[in-house]
């Protein structure tokens, strides 16, 4: 039963990375655009593409949080205490991004405000996924120190690390990558497609580089991530899969129907996520004092898990058709 | 492993003068932050719950009559819905994290027990977000009645999600579905927890309150705009909004009465604080107004209506109503705050009920008087009252539950995060909410400018 819940958790995380990530990435892509006529058309396409779907895209995070606090409350409270500060930073980014986008969309009287909202929107589009990465980086590394007494050591040091920043930047590039791929398929015009597919490949290259930096910084700081990754057959296989998927991905991206690149891109992201999780599964949080919180031992009692699973199953039956309808209405 | 650790280093080095903000204790800062986050969110959430129904009504009228005024109104209102929904959604995301950020001691146990309504709320909210996207952007892509029903689904999902999430607050007031076992809860029954005794009435009271507040606020705004220039769109808007508001305002005292009776039975100390009632007695008087003096244990300057508290609380004049004196002092909630909030809520609720009745009477017998300037000014005057009543009501139920976070089970102080420096994050959130409130208000004002420009373009 716990495994079934963990599967839902994984799916929610993957969908948040893909859909919510595409949203964040759209703001990043927008920040790479200038004022030339093709760039202006691209900007309009971005707004049009995310407007109907961004709200729905971000609900995955709420779902994620609810599964964790209902199914694994100790994990939720541990993160809430020790990673309080980067969580606040993440939330500020999410709030500002959503509001700035909406305000920009509806307040069409004056260019000065338009520019201001746009700037907040683009900045927060980097800020939020960055801190997602920072938070994720601190979980498996054993950087959290419950035995420490000083404020800095308990509440700042675990996440304010090179590895944290590298992971944050990596998540940013991943979001930019996903967004660019989706945006290619949103247009029928060759110059716009070319613009976005160049960015997709650019973000992909940055992502690969930052992936390496993430491992390097982990190794330099003595975090177990690289060794665990190498020792896990699952992770190595996922890494190989992600690399292999690059071939059909690039081919479809540059082909006649770039929409076909989307499933490959999602596959690559999925493989990366499986690889990262698989390295230390079933550990959820590793603490500096040697204690580990693993998913199975921190799971809520069986009646609660059952209730959660039922809610997730019924919810899926309601949500998936609705989501498909939404995407079909606006994306075809 | 748990939230027991406190980092002992002082946030400020020795000798550095501490700014006034850190004079607030961590505990008060956390409570204030939570109160502010909830107080902010409830305004936007109420609009998200009720406004779609107003919008669907106007939309329905357009589809049935083809009157362009109703199309303009639907589209103007849908922009308002979009703006408020976005802010409400992100503030709600914030809250789902804040429960853990501020009160990990609570979430450690409550997360599992009362998580179920949150998961259902998440589902309802997801559907709402999808339906909203379809509605806002589907004017040209969906067939007219499919499009209309998306708008209706936004409203229905909103109501559902409100009812679900309030089950959680109901559980905090009326805990069920577990044996506390000295801090290690066992025999957890999530269904019993969700369907606790307080959930249904609290939920209905809130939803009716949302319609009341939004109905009067929207009517007031359009009344104001109509007084500025008598465009038909504003009068139509006012009538639709005020119909919802009036019906809600008339139902609300009935729901409120049932709620209070439930509180009298389950949380007698909260009732005593709400009413400023210190001495246990039969034929207990209803205390209207007044200033409770917690040290002297008396409410001064009040109007006492003999026997009516017993009657309202239990349906019989000779029923015994427990007074605060019957309970240990350390279990008293802040009496003055709770009492004032309650009096404000009931007072405003009464005013709105009377204005609502007046509107319905006029609609039936003197419809022309609705556009009379005096009535319009009355409606304008009522604009914020419903929302003030909502905030007051939440103060009653949340402050009235103190010192408990789970009534009779866990004290709020024991749930607090060990992280020091909450005063600073409180300041940060306050700044954020202030900015968001100002910008949304500013945006709405500009939306009316846009609307008028559009209408002018067609004249």
How do residues B31-48 score in pLDDT, each as one tens digit? 999 999 999 999 999 999
B23-B25-B26 Cα angle (round to 5): 130
Q: How distant, in Å, are the alpha carbons of A58, A95, A101 from that of A165?
A: 23, 21, 26
Q: Are A56 and B417 an interchain contact pair (Cβ–Cβ within 8 Å)? A: no
Q: Which residues pair with B410 in a beta bridge?
A: B406
Burial of B1 (0-12, 13-18, 19+ CB in 10 A): middle
Q: Tokens representing B31?
A: 């409570």
Q: Report CA dihedral (B127, B128, B130, B135) to the nearest 10 degrees.
A: 140
How do residues A194-248 score in pLDDT, each as one tens digit? 999 999 999 999 999 999 999 999 999 888 888 888 888 888 999 999 999 999 9
* Per-residue pLDDT, B2: 36
Facing residue for B137 by CB, picked from A51, A84, A301: A51
Tell me the C-alpha distance between B209 and B216, whole Å: 11
Q: Tokens representing A327?
A: 């995407």
Its sign, for the CA torsion A112, A117, A122, A127, is positive
* Interface ipTM: 0.88
Sort out which chain A residues have CB atoms less than 8 A from B177's CB and list them.
none
Q: What's the whole-number average pLDDT of chain A?
A: 90
Q: Residue B344: how many CB atoms within 10 A of its CB?
A: 18
Q: Tokens representing B146?
A: 């499919």
Tell me the C-alpha distance between A3 and B326, whole Å: 51
Q: Which stretch of A30-34, A144-148, B412-416 has the lowest confidence by average pLDDT?
A: A144-148
* Per-residue pLDDT, A97: 92
* Per-residue pLDDT, B400: 94
Chain A: residue nearest B443 by CA?
A107
Tell me whether B444 touches chain A (CB under 8 Å): no
* Per-residue pLDDT, B8: 36
Q: What's the whole-number average pLDDT of chain B?
A: 90
How do residues B155-212 score in pLDDT, each as one tens digit? 999 999 999 999 999 999 999 999 998 888 889 999 999 999 999 999 999 999 999 9
The whole-angstrom distance between B239's CA and the closest CA on chain A is: 26
Q: Residue A296: how many CB atoms within 10 A of its CB?
A: 11
Torsion-angle region of B372 (φ positive above 0: left; ψ -120 to 50: alpha; else: beta) = beta
Facing residue for B112 by CB, picked from A55, A304, A319: A304
Tell me whether B99 touches chain A (CB under 8 Å): yes
Facing residue for B125 by CB, picked from A59, A312, A329: A59
Tell me whether B82 touches chain A (CB under 8 Å): yes
Sort out which chain B residues have CB atoms less than 8 A from A65's CB and list them.
96-97
Tell me the C-alpha distance between A70 and B194, whole Å: 13
Please report which confidence band the pLDDT of residue B21 belongs to, taking 50, 70 and 90 as the band edges. Answer: low
Q: What is the pTM for the complete model shown?
A: 0.90
How do residues B135-149 score in pLDDT, each as one tens digit? 999 999 999 999 999
Q: Tokens representing B196?
A: 């606790």
Please report which confidence band the pLDDT of residue A316 belongs to, taking 50, 70 and 90 as the band edges. Answer: very high
- Owner of token pair 């082909």: A255
Burial of B328 (0-12, 13-18, 19+ CB in 10 A): exposed
Burial of B65 (0-12, 13-18, 19+ CB in 10 A): exposed
Facing residue for A81 by CB, picked from B109, B419, B447: B419
Phi then psi for residue A144, to 5 deg, are -70, 130
B381-B60-B369 Cα angle (round to 5): 35
Which of B90, B131, B147, B153 would you mutate first to test chain A, the one with the most A CBs within 10 A?
B90
Kindly state the percentage of chain A with pLDDT values over 90.
60
């Amino acid at each position: 039963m716990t495994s079934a819940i963990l599967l839902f958790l994984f799916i929610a995380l993957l969908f948040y990375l893909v859909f919510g990530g595409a949203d964040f990435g759209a703001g990043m892509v927008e920040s790479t655009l200038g004022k030339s006529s093709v760039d202006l058309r691209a900007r309009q396409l971005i707004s049009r593409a995310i407007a109907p779907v961004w709200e729905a895209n971000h609900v995955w995070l709420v779902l994620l949080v609810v599964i964790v606090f209902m199914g694994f409350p100790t994990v939720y409270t541990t993160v809430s205490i020790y990673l309080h500060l980067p969580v606040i930073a993440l939330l500020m980014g999410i709030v500002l991004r959503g509001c700035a986008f909406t305000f920009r969309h509806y307040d069409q009287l004056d260019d000065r405000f338009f520019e201001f909202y746009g700037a907040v929107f683009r900045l927060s589009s980097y800020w939020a996924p960055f801190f997602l990465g920072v938070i994720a980086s601190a979980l498996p590394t054993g950087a959290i120190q419950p035995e420490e007494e000083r404020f800095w050591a308990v509440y700042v040091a675990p996440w304010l690390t090179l590895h944290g920043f590298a992971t944050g930047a990596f998540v940013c590039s991943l979001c930019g990558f996903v967004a660019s791929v989706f945006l290619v398929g949103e247009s029928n015009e060759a110059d716009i497609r070319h613009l976005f597919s160049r960015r997709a490949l650019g973000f992909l290259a940055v992502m690969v580089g930052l992936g390496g930096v993430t491992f390097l910084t982990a190794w330099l700081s003595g975090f177990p991530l690289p060794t665990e990754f190498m020792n896990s057959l699952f992770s190595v296989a996922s890494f190989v899969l992600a690399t292999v998927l690059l071939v059909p991905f690039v081919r479809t991206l540059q082909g006649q129907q770039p929409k076909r690149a989307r499933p490959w891109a999602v596959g690559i992201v999925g493989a990366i996520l499986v690889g990262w999780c698989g390295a230390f599964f079933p550990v959820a949080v590793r603490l500096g004092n040697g204690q580990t919180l693993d998913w199975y031992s921190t799971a809520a009692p069986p009646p609660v898990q059952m209730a959660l699973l039922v809610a997730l199953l019924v919810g899926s039956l309601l949500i998936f058709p609705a989501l498909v309808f939404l995407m079909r209405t606006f994306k075809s | 492993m748990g939230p027991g650790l406190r980092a002992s280093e002082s946030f400020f080095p020795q000798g550095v003068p501490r700014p006034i903000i850190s004079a607030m204790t961590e505990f008060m800062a956390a409570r204030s932050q939570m109160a502010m986050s909830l107080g902010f969110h409830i305004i936007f959430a109420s609009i998200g719950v009720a406004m779609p129904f107003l919008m669907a009504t106007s939309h329905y009228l357009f589809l049935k009559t083809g009157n362009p005024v109703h199309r303009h109104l639907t589209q103007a209102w849908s922009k308002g819905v979009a703006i408020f929904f976005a802010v409400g959604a992100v503030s709600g995301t914030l809250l789902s994290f804040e429960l853990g950020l501020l009160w990990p001691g609570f979430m450690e146990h409550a997360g599992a027990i009362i998580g179920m309504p949150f998961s259902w709320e998440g589902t309802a909210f997801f559907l709402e977000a999808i339906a909203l996207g379809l509605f806002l952007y589907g004017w040209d892509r969906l067939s007219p009645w499919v499009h209309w029903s998306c708008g209706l689904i936004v409203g229905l999902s909103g109501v559902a999600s409100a009812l679900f999430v309030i089950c959680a607050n109901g559980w905090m007031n009326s805990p069920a579905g577990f044996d506390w076992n000295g801090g290690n809860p066992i025999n957890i029954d999530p269904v019993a927890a969700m369907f606790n005794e307080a959930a249904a009435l609290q939920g209905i009271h809130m939803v009716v309150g949302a319609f009341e507040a939004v109905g009067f606020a929207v009517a007031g705004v359009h009344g104001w705009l109509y007084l500025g220039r008598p465009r038909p769109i504003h009068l139509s808007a006012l009538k639709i909004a005020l119909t919802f508001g009036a019906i809600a305002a008339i139902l609300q005292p009935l729901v409120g009465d049932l709620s209070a009776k439930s509180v009298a039975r389950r949380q007698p100390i909260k009732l005593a604080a709400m009413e400023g009632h210190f001495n246990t007695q039969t034929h207990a008087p209803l205390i209207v107004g007044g200033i409770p003096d917690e040290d002297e244990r008396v409410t001064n300057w009040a109007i006492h209506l003999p026997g009516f508290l017993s009657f309202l609380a239990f349906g019989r004049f000779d029923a015994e109503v427990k007074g605060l004196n019957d309970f240990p002092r350390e279990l008293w909630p802040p009496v003055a705050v709770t009492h004032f909030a309650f009096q404000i809520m009931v007072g405003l609720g009464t005013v709105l009920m009377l204005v609502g009745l007046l509107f319905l009477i006029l609609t039936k017998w003197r419809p022309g008087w609705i556009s009379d300037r005096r009535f319009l000014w009355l409606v304008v005057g009522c604009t914020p009252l419903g929302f003030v009543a909502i905030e007051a009501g939440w103060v009653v139920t949340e402050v009235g539950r103190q010192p408990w976070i789970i009534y009779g089970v866990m004290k709020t102080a024991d749930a607090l995060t060990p992280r020091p420096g909450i005063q600073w994050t409180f300041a940060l959130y306050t700044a954020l909410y202030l900015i968001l409130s100002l910008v949304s208000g500013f945006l709405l004002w500009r939306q009316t400018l846009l609307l008028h420009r559009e209408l002018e373009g067609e004249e």
